[in-house]
Amino acid sequence: MTTETSGGSSTQLPGLLLVQELTAIINRFRVHELGPDQSPGALLAYGEQKPLKLREEVTFFANDAKTQPLFAMRSREIVDLHATTAVVDAAGASLGSFRKDARRSLTNSTYYLQTPDGQTATGRERNAKVAAIRRFGFLLPGALGDAMDLLPWQFHFDFRDDHGQVVLACERRRAFSDQYLVTLPPRADGPPIDWRLAAAVGVALDVFQGR
């Protein structure tokens, strides 16, 4: 059965578009419904991320007036390479969690996702070769190595369940601001992942991959 958030939108959507507005002090994220031509649709949520916090914490509101909280993501420990991030709704109920695998991420960024009903998925960068070049390109000699470090790398993630089915995909798009196309295919054994959990994962990928 399809449920609704406190803001009135369905928790089940086929896709989202995340738009980041980067400033010197704060990162702003707008979560939009995905339009039929993959353009930004209606605004679903607005969140702000403050760099250099000991614990990663972002509250998402219905809009930039920030008067109606919808959901939040919070790291359970002081940020480290193994920290688990919980996602909760406005009442504090769990929407799921995710964490980064630091060891596997040395060669290909790897994340583990869990939903409230116990379903799990593993997310990895789609193109392992690009992942390797992005990490080690700076070792190339001279100007080539310097250029590798400055390129606006595109990274795409696929989260697959235990059956190998993609249940969440996040693709970075080329634009003047960072944009992420998030798709949520139907699960074979249940409804699509809650868009609020997917939005939190998308924001985390932007924040964590930038570190």
77-82: average pLDDT: 60
Q: Is pLDDT above 50 for 50?
A: yes
User: For the stretch 116-152, what's the b/e string if a residue is b when 16 or more beta carbons lie within 10 angstroms of its beta carbon?
Assistant: eeebebbbbbbeeebbeebbebeeeeeeeeeebeeee
Instruction: Indicate whether 196 belongs to any domain.
Output: yes
The contacts of residue 87 (CB under 8 Å, 6+ apart) are 71, 72, 73, 94, 95, 96, 97, 98, 196, 197, 200
Return the pLDDT at 31.
98
pLDDT band at 206 (very low <50, low <70, confident <90, very high): confident
Return the pLDDT at 61.
98
Are the CB atoms for 102 and 82 separated by under 8 Å?
Answer: yes
Lowest model confidence (mean pLDDT) among 74-83, 87-96, 156-165, 178-187: 74-83
Residue 47 CA: distances (Å) to CA of 50, 96, 115, 203: 10, 18, 21, 9
Instruction: Indicate whether 4 belongs to any domain.
Output: no
Residue 186 CA: distances (Å) to CA of 12, 15, 45, 134: 9, 11, 22, 31
**Higher pLDDT pick, 7 / 32:** 32
CATH assignment at residue 59: 3.20.90
State which residues form the domain around 28. Answer: 15-209
Are the CB atoms for 113 and 168 separated by under 8 Å?
Answer: yes
pLDDT band at 1 (very low <50, low <70, confident <90, very high): very low
**Number of independent structural domains in the chain:** 1
Q: Is pLDDT above 50 for 211?
A: no
Q: Is pLDDT above 60 for 69?
A: yes
Q: Estimate to the nearest angstrom the gap between the alpha carbon of 42 and the chain centroid.
A: 19
Instruction: Indicate whether 174 belongs to any domain.
Output: yes
For residue 183 the two structure tokens come to 């798709």
pLDDT tens, position by position, 83-141 = 799 999 999 999 999 998 988 777 788 999 999 999 999 999 987 666 556 555 545 55
**Higher pLDDT pick, 128 / 54:** 128
Instruction: Indicate whether 177 belongs to any domain.
Output: yes
| CA nearest to 197, candidates 6, 2, 13 | 13
Total Cβ atoms within 10 A of residue 102 = 13
158-169: average pLDDT: 95
Instruction: Indicate whether 190 belongs to any domain.
Output: yes
The pTM assigned to this predicted structure is: 0.83
Return the pLDDT at 81.
56
Could you give the percent of the chain with pLDDT greater than 90?
A: 47
Instruction: Indicate whether 3 belongs to any domain.
Output: no
